[in-house]
Chain A
Amino acid sequence: MLKDITLGQYFPGDTVIHRLDPRTKIVMVGVFLVALFSSGGLIPMLIPALFLAMVIALSKVRVRLLIRNLKPLIIILSFTGFINLFMTPGEPLVSVWIFTVTLEGIERAVVLVTRIVMMIMGTFILTYTTTPMTLTDGIESLMSPLKWLRVPVHELTIIMSMALRFIPALIEETDKIMSAQKARGADFETGNLLKRAKALIPLLIPLFISAIRRAEELAIAMESRCYHGGEGRTRMRQLQFAARDFLTGLVGVLLLVAVFGIRGLLQ
């Protein structure tokens, strides 16, 4: 189960999407989300959907992988779907006992569920095709105006990149501890919610201890490699916009124009 978590993981590749400047990608995720949430109905949503499909095809990320990430969200997705399906007022289509399905309800449920699914897929494409280091470089660069307001931008981004770096290690560790506890008779799967939550304590305590120990060792190793904050630090990879980034920006503008245009036409 834990092996399914690919949050923040990077899959090496050499596609156009991989080579895009991280800043472009971050901004495009924002543009995509705006387009997605501004498209009110099923028809306008086809545009961000088309855009997403294009990006997935270009990035060569396996669709199966993207779908696998949705598994932990099944409950939220079905909940959202059901509520909207039955609670939306409108023309009754079918009515069973207290449940009434309306045409509007179907549309809303489909729109909301696909919206969440597309939102997750879009953001995952970002982390799949961008190394955490470049991603944080991008964020640091985009947030650098905040340095004038004395926001510790470099510190925040290095914390983020370390967190991303240690996700696979901590997942592996959790798996190991779980197996060790199971081997000694721990039961994580049965019982009511309270009982299951309690069963997690012997999992969380060793996990926290090991995370703290790792953090300390990492800090010493970083200091040994002359880390002393962001001051005077250079980068091997300089961020540089290329022609493809401007082209992508243009696609972004088109995406927004198309979504708002169609919305205007339909109203």
Chain B
Amino acid sequence: MQHLIETKDLTFAYRKAERDGPDASSVSLVLSDLNFAIEPGSFVAIVGANGSGKSTLAKLFNGILLPSGGRAYVDGMDTLDERLILEIRRRVGLVFQNPDNQIVSNIVEDDVAFAPENLGIAPTEIRERVDEALKAVGMYDLRRHAPHLLSGGQKQRVAIAGVIAMRPKCIVLDEPTAMLDPVGRKEVLETIRQLNREHGITVVLITHHMSECIDAARLVVMANGEIVLDGTPQTIFTQVEQLEEIGLTVPTTTALLHKLKAEGIDLPLNALTIDDCAKVIVDTM
């Protein structure tokens, strides 16, 4: 099967300011020689500390940024090919951290209509897509509202609907919960899970909260522009020392089990949810 997103030796560098001199070191490398692929229908979480290059990677997935070296492919299409850029962006929807800066209209449904309007879709079909997208994120009842009067979680769901209306194969979310309160965070994560499970949309969730990655089938850990770990959350969370070295904190459940193990109690480290964790502890005792 063809990969949905694939990178080949993907490198990205920013040019540093002039004053640093014109020598070779004036280029600061953000991503270096990244090779990996995302399968259709999967739920992948990408974690990394600040400056690990994860946000840059998101923007390379839909051609907002273009590779300095190597290639990024979406459905086999090269993001460097200018003629394909709309087709690529239609397939990979990007959702950003701050919902306030992504919403373009003063009315929820008009905002959701923005992307299909840009794609030149017929008015009746836009209507259909908007309703469908709003229902998918549970915001249909508030479709006539003004976004600035909604809660943070609701706004972010509108932003997600605005991307879903393109009927993308994949949505990439760049720290979508960073500006939200715990309630909003839960709402958004629940919406993302549903989109993946019920609508079969591939999800790439970029975050620095390890606890948000529990639901992902695959976890990619980035540090200094490179992939350091790649596997299921269960296997990756057992590598507590390595994660902490990169500057990431493991979920409290894993941290607890890890500490208990260090005390000499023999426990499996792969229980991630609170319920599983409790069960493991009870079973051992």
Please list the residues of chain A having a beta carbon within 8 angstroms of any beta carbon in chain B. Answer: 10, 12, 131-133, 161-162, 164-165, 168-169, 172, 214, 217-218, 220-228, 232-238
Contacts and interface: CB of A to CB of B under 8 A. Distances in A.
Contacts of B106: 10, 131-133, 164-165
Nearest to A222: B104
Given A235-B123, A237-B123, A225 B64 contact: no
Interface string B106-145: 1101100111111111110011001000000000000011
B163 A225 contact: yes
Interface in B166-183: 166
Nearest to B59: A220
A226 B64 contact: no
A235 B90 CA distance: 17
Contact of B104 (A165, A172, A220): A165
A217 B117 contact: no
A12 B89 CA distance: 32
B74 to A, nearest CB: 13
Interface stretch (B26-34, B91-99, B241-249): B91-99
- If over half of A's interface residues share one DSSP class (helix, strand or loop), that class is named, otherwise mixed; here it is helix
Interface in B37-72: 59, 62, 64
A13 to B, nearest CB: 10
Contacts of A237: 110, 123
Contacts of B270: none
27 contacts: A10-B107, A12-B145, A131-B107, A132-B105, A133-B107, A162-B104, A164-B106, A172-B148, A214-B100, A217-B98, A217-B102, A218-B102, A220-B59, A221-B96, A222-B114, A223-B89, A224-B89, A224-B93, A225-B114, A226-B89, A228-B118, A233-B118, A234-B121, A234-B126, A235-B117, A236-B113, A236-B127
Nearest to B118: A226
Interface size class of B (residues with CB under 8 A): 35 or more
A222 B109 CA distance: 16
Nearest to A158: B104
A164 B118 CA distance: 20
Given A226-B86, A236-B130, A217 B101 contact: yes
Nearest to A221: B102
